[in-house]
């Protein structure tokens, strides 16, 4: 039998699905927030900040789990371009999960506003207050969030392609802990 | 599944599945497309792409730009102003109602800005009978209280939608390049909530000085005490020096900043922070309605302004006076204008901070 794992570790799978929910929620919160002037704008912002920091903490845990557990290999017959696309998109997903909360934290710091996660919980500023830096970070936060949404859509489409069209073990390796019998 | 190839080369279940029929393949690919389109569609829905009528922060700021022209680097409203530096001395009277540090510490540093409520940074000071004062209190614990106040007692309208329509009524007509003079009266006629503001504005004259005006929060907030009990309030900054009150505006377009610089060269300016406590029946979600006289008023302390700075190089330039940046102990009310101000200011702030390099040199704006 192969010594390669056929599934992701339990903790890796839990983190994947928990963060999938949080990130999808976060993208929708962000999209609703920037296009609303109603009270919704205010309560979405109050959700967006602590949820973003929670994602930052979880992605660090997740990177540690990723580096200390073994991942199931991609199917051996997967075309080269799809292997490349899979690896590049996963790298991009990890990078964006890490960078977006940091950009959000940095842009509030650059605006000179206190970084408040609740009415009393305050984080330190991670960059000095600077208007031009704020504008750069705010735009980067927005554009990269759209990029993350597109990457998530691609990831979703690819996962379903593996599950429904190729019918290989890729989707199953993130869904279940045991081999199909 | 049975592996016919080398067990190491291919994970179980890989390439050995029977090929899909063309119909099944199309159905499955179609299923993927439906799932992806549903998620993308939901995102576009939340993002407002299917609802061009939705009032967005962008639309609010766009109409201001349409009416006033684009002045890169300047605020999209209240564009002409001057920074002031000072501090707040708490009297301790508001401490019972609010746990905010600003009411509990003897002194809190303040960076403020006096301004004209107009979108053109070159508007003559006599063009508007209203002045504004924005303040940022920075508490010792790092939390901030930002407030943008105006010299009118009530806001013309009670909702962001009505504010937007009022701005639209003042937009230049594409045919003539000028606003249609019939539109604003028609708007007021259709909006009876504007009566208190219109009654006030009839008697309002452009003041000769920033220092003689009373500046009102207009919107309502809550003071929150240590046990979480909330008291609805509005606040105002009332000048303690009324020497030139009632003086009519002098000739020329730029007297306000000169007057302020002269006054501050002689002595600090003092304002009293009056906090009006609402009765339970007073409207907290409608800034177009005044509260009846006779409400209890706290003297929460004294604002002491010590010096001015030109707005293009001063500390106030890069501050977004978002009225919902509040310390623990003060909360926004459900007045819909508050959330709209916060959202609109954020949009204006991003536009102008992106244009900092296009600002005229600070010395051009600075006056002796």
Give the pLDDT confidence of A11-22 residue by residue, as tens digits: 999 999 999 999
Tell whether A163 is within 8 A of chain B (Cβ).
Answer: no
Nearest to B325 by CA among A108, A180, A76: A108
Which residue in chain B is spatially nearest to A107 when comparing CA positions?
B350
- Mean pLDDT, rounded, for A132-158: 98
**In chain A, which residue's Cα lies nearest the Cα of B339?**
A39
Interface test with A, best of B61, B342, B343, B358 (most A CBs within 10 A): B343
Tens of pLDDT along B75-86? 999 999 999 999
* pTM of this structure: 0.92
Q: Would you say domain B46-162+205-243+253-356 falls under CATH 2.40.180.10?
A: yes
CA torsion, points B149, B56, B169, B151, in degrees to nearest 10? 0
| Banded model confidence at residue B57, pLDDT cuts 50, 70, 90 | very high
Mean pLDDT of B351-363: 83
Output the average pLDDT for chain A: 94
The reported pLDDT for the residue numbered B299 is: 98
- Within a domain: A3: no
pLDDT of B18: 87
pLDDT of residue B363: 43
**Rounded-to-integer distance, Cα A55 and Cα A145, Å:** 14
Q: What is the average pLDDT across A45-49?
A: 96
The CATH number for A129's domain is 1.20.950
B328/A119 CB distance under 8 A: yes
pLDDT of residue A181: 42
Does A89 fall in a domain?
yes
Domains: count for chain A: 1
**Sign of the Cα pseudo-torsion (A117, A119, A123, A125, in order):** positive
Residue-wise pLDDT for B307-349, tens only, equals 999 999 999 999 999 999 999 999 999 999 999 999 999 999 9
pLDDT at B248: 63
The whole-number pLDDT of residue B7 equals 39
Assess contact for A134 and A114: CB atoms under 8 A: no
Query: DSSP secondary structure string, B108-172?
Result: EEEEEEEEESSS-TT--GGG-S--EEEEEEE-TTS-EEEEEEESSSS-S-SSHHHHHHHHHHTSB
Q: How confident is the model at residue A1 (pLDDT cuts 50, 70, 90)?
A: very low
Q: What does the pLDDT look like over A149-167, one tens digit per residue? A: 999 999 999 999 999 999 9
A39 at B interface, C-beta within 8 A: yes
| Mean predicted confidence (pLDDT) in B251-279 | 93
Closest CA to B133 of B39, B75, B214: B214
pLDDT at residue B279 above 80?
yes
Q: Chain B within 8 Å of A72 (Cβ-Cβ)?
A: yes
Between residues B300 and B127, the one the model is more confident about: B300
Q: Classify residue A18: in a domain, yes or no.
A: yes
What is the Cα–Cα distance from B136 to A165, expressed in whole angstroms? 59
The residue with tokens 């900092």 is B356
Q: Residues B150-175: what's their mean pLDDT?
A: 96
Q: Return the number of CB contacts < 8 Å for A and B.
A: 148
Q: Is the predicted pLDDT of residue B69 greater than 80, yes or no?
A: yes
Which of B11, B48, B338 has the CB atom closest to A75's CB atom? B11
pLDDT at B249: 65
Q: Nearest residue of B to residue A40 by CA position?
A: B339
What integer best gives the mean pLDDT of chain B?
A: 91
H helices within chain B, ranges in order?
Answer: 22-46, 57-68, 101-104, 160-169, 183-190, 195-203, 255-266, 336-353, 362-365
| Beta strand pairing call for B230-239 and B269-277 | antiparallel
Whether the predicted pLDDT of B13 surpasses 80: no
Angle at CA of residue B257, ends B252 and B259, nearest 5° = 80
Give kind and range of the element (H or E) at residue A156.
helix A131-160
**Contact between B136 and B210 (Cβ < 8 Å):** no
Compare CB distances from A37 to B14, B47, B343 and report the shortest one's residue: B343
CA distance A39 to chain B (A): 5
Q: What are the chain A neighbours of B316 within 8 Å (beta carbons)? A: none
Measured between beta carbons, the chain A residues lying within 8 angstroms of B100 are: none
pLDDT value for B2: 38
DSSP B193: G
Q: Judge whether residue B73 has pLDDT over 60.
A: yes
Q: What percent of chain B is modeled with pLDDT above 90?
A: 86
SS3 call for B228: coil
Sole residue written with tokens 């909702």: B159
* Amino acid A24: pLDDT: 98
User: Which whole number is the average pLDDT over B54-69?
Assistant: 95
Angle B160-169/B57-68 helices, nearest 10 degrees?
20
Residue A1 lies in a domain: no
What is the separation of C-alpha B31 from the centre of its chain, rounded to a whole number of angstroms? Answer: 46
Please state, in angstroms and rounded to a whole number, the distance separating the CA atoms of residues B152 and B174: 32
Q: Which of B9, B17, B344 sits opposite A37 (nearest CB)?
A: B344
Is the sign of the CA dihedral A115, A118, A119, A122 positive or negative? negative
∠ CA B314-B219-A112, nearest 5°, is 30
Asked if pLDDT for residue B364 goes beyond 60, the answer is no
Q: Show the domain range for A27.
A: 10-175
Q: Residue B11 pLDDT > 90, yes or no?
A: no
Mean of pLDDT values over A51-80: 96
B4 — pLDDT class (breaks 50, 70, 90) = very low
Q: Which residues of B are catalytic?
A: 78
For B31, which of A122, A164, A179 is closest by C-beta distance?
A164
| Helix, strand, or coil (residue B84) | strand
Residues contacting residue A138 through CB under 8 Å, at least 6 positions apart:
A107, B350, B353
Task: Decide if pLDDT at B144 tops 60.
Answer: yes
Q: What confidence tier does B247 reach under pLDDT thresholds 50, 70, 90?
A: low
- In angstroms, the CA A163 to CA A167 distance is 5
Query: B345 labelled as ligand-binding?
Result: yes
A105, part of any domain: yes
Residue A180 lies inside a defined structural domain of this protein: no
Residue whose pair of structure tokens reads 């919160």 in the numeric block: A29
Statement: residue B179 has pLDDT above 60: yes
| Phi, psi of A54, deg, nearest 5 | -60, -40
């Amino acid at each position: 039998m192969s010594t390669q794992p056929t599934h992701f570790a339990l903790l890796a799978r839990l983190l994947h699905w928990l963060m999938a929910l949080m990130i999808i929620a976060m993208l929708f919160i962000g999209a609703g927030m920037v296009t609303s002037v109603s009270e919704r704008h205010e309560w979405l912002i109050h959700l967006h900040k602590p949820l973003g920091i929670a994602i930052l903490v979880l992605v660090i845990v997740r990177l540690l789990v990723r580096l200390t557990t073994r991942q199931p290999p991609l199917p051996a017959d997967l075309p080269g371009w799809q292997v490349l696309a899979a690896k590049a998109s996963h790298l991009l997903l990890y990078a964006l999960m890490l960078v977006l909360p940091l950009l959000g934290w940095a842009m509030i710091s650059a605006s000179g506003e206190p970084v408040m996660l609740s009415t009393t919980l305050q984080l330190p500023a991670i960059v000095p207050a600077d208007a031009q830096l704020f504008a750069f970070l705010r735009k980067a936060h927005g554009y990269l969030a759209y990029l993350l949404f597109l990457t998530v859509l691609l990831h979703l489409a690819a996962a379903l392609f593996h599950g429904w069209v190729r019918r290989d073990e890729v989707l199953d390796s993130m869904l279940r802990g045991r081999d199909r019998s | 599944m049975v592996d016919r190839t080398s067990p190491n080369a291919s994970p179980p279940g890989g390439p050995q599945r029977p090929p899909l029929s063309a119909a099944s393949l199309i159905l499955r690919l179609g299923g993927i497309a439906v799932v992806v389109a549903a998620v993308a569609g939901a995102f576009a829905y939340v993002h407002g792409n299917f609802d061009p009528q939705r009032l967005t922060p962008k639309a609010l700021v766009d109409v201001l730009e349409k009416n006033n022209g684009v002045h890169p680097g300047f605020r999209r409203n209240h564009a002409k102003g001057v920074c002031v530096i000072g501090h707040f001395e708490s009297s301790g009277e508001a401490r019972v109602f609010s746990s905010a540090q600003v009411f509990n510490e003897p002194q809190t540093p303040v960076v403020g800005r006096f301004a004209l409520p107009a979108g053109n940074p070159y508007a003559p000071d006599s063009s508007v009978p209203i002045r504004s004062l924005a303040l940022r209190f920075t508490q010792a614990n790092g939390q901030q209280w930002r407030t943008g106040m105006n010299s009118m007692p009530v806001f013309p309208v009670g909702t962001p939608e009505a504010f937007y329509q009022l701005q639209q009524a003042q937009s230049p007509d594409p045919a003539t390049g000028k606003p249609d003079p019939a539109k604003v009266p028609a708007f007021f006629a259709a909006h009876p909530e504007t009566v208190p503001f219109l009654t006030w504005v009839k008697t309002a004259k452009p003041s000769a000085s920033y220092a003689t005006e009373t500046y009102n929060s207009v919107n309502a907030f809550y003071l929150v005490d240590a046990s979480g009990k909330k008291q609805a309030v509005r606040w105002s900054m009332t000048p303690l020096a009324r020497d030139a009150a009632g003086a009519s505006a002098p000739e020329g377009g730029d007297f306000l900043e000169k007057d302020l610089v002269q006054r501050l060269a002689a002595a600090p300016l003092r304002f009293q922070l009056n906090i009006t406590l609402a009765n339970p029946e007073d409207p907290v979600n409608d800034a177009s309605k005044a509260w009846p006289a006779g409400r209890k008023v706290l003297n929460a302390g004294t604002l002491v302004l010590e010096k001015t700075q030109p707005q293009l190089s001063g500390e106030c330039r890069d501050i977004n006076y978002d009225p919902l940046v509040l310390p623990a102990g003060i909360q926004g009310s459900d007045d819909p204008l508050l959330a709209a101000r916060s959202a609109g200011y954020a949009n204006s702030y991003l536009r102008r901070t992106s244009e900092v390099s296009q600002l005229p040199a600070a010395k051009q704006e600075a006056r002796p």
